[in-house]
Amino acid sequence: MVDATENSDELSYDELAAQVSLSRVFGLFKAYARQFVAVLVLILLSSVAGIAAPFLLRAIIDEALPSGNFHLLALMTGGLIGLACLGTLIGVLQVLITSRVGQAIMHDLRVRVYAHLQSLSLGFFTTARSGEIQSRIASDIGGLQALVTHAIGDFTRNISLVMMTTIAMLALEWRLALFSFLVLPIAIWVSHRVGRLREEITYEQQQRIADMSSAVQEQLSISGIILARTMGRTNHLTRRFIHASEGVAALEVRSHTAGQWQWGVIDIVLQALPALTLLLGGLLMNQGVSAVTIGTLVAMTALQEQLLWPLEEVLEAGVHFRTTRALFARIFEYLDHPIEIGERPDAVIHDPADIRGAVRLDSVRFAYDKAQAPTIEDVSIDIPAGSHTAIVGPTGSGKTTLGYLLARLYDVDAGSIRYDGVDIRDLSFQSLTDTLGVVTQEPYLFHASVADNLRFAKPDATDVDLIAAAKIAQIHETIGALPDGYDTLVGERGYRFSGGEKQRLALARVVLRNPRVLLLDEATSALDSATERAMSEALATLAKDRTTITIAHRLSTVRHADQIIVMTDGRVVERGRHDELLAMKGVYANLVRSAD
């Protein structure tokens, strides 16, 4: 329960942000190019309608009203109303399109990150916190929702409106227009400065939110609650959570208030601009500039208003884009994590009916840290189809690591592992899972019914299949005694069941798949002696015509294995049957004596 920040040879934020190019971000939208073109057309129509209104207003003030031309007045007024209706209709259509496209992009990005994480090796998940992963999928991608749903469409509409309004102002009266543009360089500089500041704060803020999410998941899990209460540390953990929450709140305040004084100055200047324009217009009229009329001044101030609010929105959007770049940096960091274990394009596909179950390891070498000494070194084992091979050894000898390699949760650094003569790296993932079934020392159960947990291995399994598998695993009677039988909710991580019951449920789940090779990694470690004997008999029945590999610490489960492989410090030091190894009076004999 340590609040440690994820450390995976992390790049600095500047290095991560440098990977978030505009082309890469826009690549997320490529599949929806047609919809965005439709939105762009709507935006252009809306902008044209918007800049036409001030010219109609000038005609009303300078021509229709002074001359008393009611027909012209009605025509111009109708034009203003028509433009308003057109703008509203365009706005509704734009929201409908952008909302649907935005949510589709969010869905694509979530699925892409999730699918990529599913393809990473076990090594990634041994260093990453599950709370951090959840935070990036939920919080970081969720933080992009406003960007992809509204902000991009609003930004495009506003930038289009700014450009067309600028042209209209220059066409209306160029001197007053140039005066209005004097504020732009200062506003752009402030926007850039504030955006950079908020971007860095947002990245730090998302890291702290991920820390808090990880702490909640760890400390409010069943294991965390039991540990905290039995250690009397609940108040301590509450104080730590308060401290973490205060840090997030402080960063939230900094994120929203950064650069507010600078924005305040710009806002004052922008608010004063119409008054200053009227003052300048009055001076020009006194000097006899005929192009400047009352209608021109009214139309110019209307265009300024039409320029200033979208300009402010554009500048704010620039800040928002800089802020969301921090979220993209965190998401792309996961997407850029290399896939260490991939399926080859020409992978071998085995027909399940043709799988024999012969396994061979040739000079296998593996190290978790390539700069350190190998965990597995020069291991060669021949496991004939249908045989039972046990792998034993003291703690830290490499038994479980060998199991990881057999299941291809890691790839070997040297040597090879072959199933029926085919290198495991050449097998398709589906063929490997059809060949090998694994029951681990710490079985995982979902927060779902017993039946759903079992059908995770075989979705089309019938109730009869479930019962047959449960009987083989010696768990059917236990399930039948539950309030709702196979429909009973397991509870998070299976805490409704004892350790032995969870292992038997996990075994039943594997039995449903009916693999040709069984890998049992301390699969009976949580069973009492009576249940272990019953389950051993069931496994003996199940193991007929099936290859069984047992990784065991309790040597009573492997006495009758066809061969026993003894490992020490990642190497095979002895091999043979139980009686042969006892006669050697070596490592295995010492393990047996210490177990007795």
State whether 290 and 388 are in the same domain: no
Kindly state whether residues 310 and 420 are assigned to the same domain.
no
Question: 3-class SS at 214?
Answer: helix
Higher-confidence position of 167 and 509: 509
Domain count, the chain: 2
* Backbone torsions φ then ψ of 388, nearest 5 degrees: -115, 115
Residue 476 has pLDDT above 80, yes or no: yes
Q: What is the number of alpha carbons within 13 Å of residue 526 lying toward its C-beta?
A: 19
Q: How confident is the model at residue 465 (pLDDT cuts 50, 70, 90)?
A: very high
Q: Determine the 3-state secondary structure of 319 from DSSP.
A: helix
Residues 166 and 199 in one domain: yes
Look up residue 29 and give its two tokens: 């939208």
| Residue 146 · residue 220 · CB < 8 Å | no
- Give how far the C-alpha of residue 556 lies from the chain's centroid of Cα atoms, to the nearest Å: 44
Residue 517 to residue 521: CA distance in whole angstroms: 13
**Tens digits of per-residue pLDDT, 195-254?**
667 767 777 777 777 777 777 766 766 566 666 666 677 787 788 888 888 877 787 777
What are φ and ψ of residue 495, in 5° steps? Answer: -70, -5
**pLDDT (tens digit, 9 = 90+) per residue, 375-390?**
999 999 999 998 999 9
Question: What percent of the chain has a predicted confidence (pLDDT) above 70?
Answer: 81
3-state secondary structure (DSSP) of residue 406: helix
The CATH number assigned to the domain holding 142 equals: 1.20.1560.10
pLDDT of amino acid 593: 83
Q: Where residue 371 falls among pLDDT bands split at 50, 70, 90?
A: confident
Structure tokens at 486: 């196979």
Q: Give per-residue pLDDT as tens, 86-134.
A: 878 877 787 777 778 877 888 888 888 888 888 887 878 877 776 777 7
| Percent of residues in the chain assigned helix, strand, coil, to nearest 5 | 65, 10, 25
Distance CA 453, CA 485 (A): 13
Rounded CA-CA distance 186/40 in Å is 29
Q: Evaluate whether residue 29 is within a structural domain.
A: yes
d(CA 555, CA 581): 12
> How far is it, in rounded angstroms, from Cα 37 to Cα 383?
61
Asked whether residue 160 is assigned to any structural domain, the reply reads: yes
Judged on CB neighbours under 10 Å (0-12, 13-18, 19+), 502 is buried
Please determine, for residue 8, whether its predicted confidence score (pLDDT) is greater than 60.
no
Q: Tell me, what's the pLDDT at 68?
A: 79
The Cα 15–Cα 157 span in angstroms is: 32
Q: Is the pLDDT of residue 4 over 50?
A: no
| CA pair distance 520, 523, nearest whole angstrom | 5
Pairing between strand 547-551 and 414-419?
A: unpaired
The encoded tokens of residue 541 equal 């029945």
Residues 535 and 476 in one domain: yes
- Among 559, 558, 594, which residue's Cα sits nearest to residue 579? 559
Whether the pLDDT of residue 81 is over 70: the answer is: yes
The amino acid sitting at 304 is Q
Query: What is the spatial distance between Cα 402 and Cα 427, in angstroms, rounded to a whole number?
Result: 18
Structure tokens given for 154: 């609003």
Q: Which two tokens stand for residue 193?
A: 């400065």
Residue 24 lies in a domain: yes
Are the CB atoms for 418 and 359 separated by under 8 Å? yes
Q: Give the mean pLDDT of 268-294.
A: 78
Same domain (yes/no): 419, 567: yes
Residues 317 and 423 both lie in one domain: no
Query: What average pLDDT does the chain have?
Result: 79
Least confident of 79-88, 281-290, 312-321: 312-321
Same domain, 516 and 453: yes
pTM of this prediction? 0.66
For residues 225 and 315, state if they share a domain.
yes
Q: What are phi and psi for residue 376, nearest 5 degrees?
A: -120, 130
Confidence of residue 9 (pLDDT cuts 50, 70, 90): very low
* pLDDT value of residue 412: 93
Domain containing 400 — which CATH number? Answer: 3.40.50.300
Residue 73 corresponds to which amino acid? L
At residue 351, the pLDDT reads: 86
Mapped to the 3 state alphabet, what secondary structure does 168-234 carry?
Answer: HHHHHCHHHHHHHHHHHHHHHHHHHHHHHHHHHHHHHHHHHHHHHHHHHHHHCCHHHHHHHHHCCCH
Mean pLDDT along residues 467-477? 87
Pick the closest to residue 434 from 557, 516, 325, 372 (CA basis). 516
Rounded CA separation 523/549 (Å): 11
The answer on 369 and 317 residing in a single domain is no
Which of 303, 335, 367 is a domain's end point? 335
Residue ranges of E strands in 259-413: 359-366, 376-383, 388-392
d(CA 493, CA 487): 16
**6, part of any domain:** no
Could you tell me the two tokens for 285?
């009229």
**Mean pLDDT of the 25-49 span:** 77
Nearest one of 181, 160, 134, 196 to 50, comparing CA atoms: 160
**Residue 400 pLDDT more than 70?**
yes
The answer to whether residues 225 and 279 belong to one domain is yes
Report the pLDDT averaged over residues 283-296.
Answer: 77
How far is Cα 495 from Cα 579, in angstroms, rounded to an integer? 40
Q: Residue range 28-42: average pLDDT? A: 79
Model pLDDT for residues 324-361, shown as the tens digit of each residue:
777 788 888 888 888 888 888 889 998 888 889 999 99
Q: What number is the average pLDDT over the span 296-318? A: 74
Cβ-Cβ contacts under 8 Å for 148 (sequence gap 6 or more): 28, 29, 101, 102, 105, 106
Report residue 18's pLDDT band, with 50, 70 and 90 as the boundaries: low
DSSP character at residue 31: G
Instruction: Quickly state the pLDDT bin for 576 (edges 50, 70, 90).
Output: very high
Range name among 44-53, 382-391, 408-417, 544-553 with the lowest pLDDT average: 44-53
Is 349 domain-assigned? no
Find the DSSP H helices in 457-559: 463-472, 476-480, 499-513, 529-542
Which parts of 42-115 are beta strand (E)? Answer: none
Q: Which of 361, 364, 334 is nearest to 418 (CA)?
A: 361
More confident residue, 197 or 3: 197
Q: Flag whether pLDDT at 578 surpasses 80.
A: yes
How far apart CA 370 and CA 339 sit, in angstroms, is 17
The two beta strands, 422-423 and 414-419, are antiparallel
- The pLDDT score that the predictor gives to residue 527 is 62
* Domain interval for residue 569: 358-595
Is residue 203 included in any domain, yes or no? yes
Higher pLDDT, 458 or 9: 458
Instruction: Quote the Cα angle for 105-109-112, to 5°.
Output: 135
Confidence band of 301 (pLDDT split at 50, 70, 90): confident
Residues 329 and 404 in one domain: no
Mean pLDDT of 487-504: 76
For residue 41, being part of any structural domain is answered with yes
pLDDT tens-digit map of 135-162:
777 777 777 776 666 666 677 767 777 7
pLDDT at 11 over 60: no
Alpha-helical segments (H) within 344-447: 399-406, 429-435
Q: Tell me the range of 25-29, 52-56, 368-372 where mean pLDDT is highest.
A: 368-372
Residue 152 resides in a domain: yes
442 and 487 belong to one structural domain: yes
Which stretches of 407-498 are DSSP H helices? 429-435, 450-455, 463-472, 476-480
* Range with top average pLDDT, 380-394, 487-501, 513-527: 380-394
435 vs 127: which has the higher pLDDT: 435
Alpha carbons 489 and 120: distance in angstroms, whole number: 30
- Per-residue pLDDT, 319: 66
Number of neighbours of residue 514 by Cβ within 10 angstroms: 15
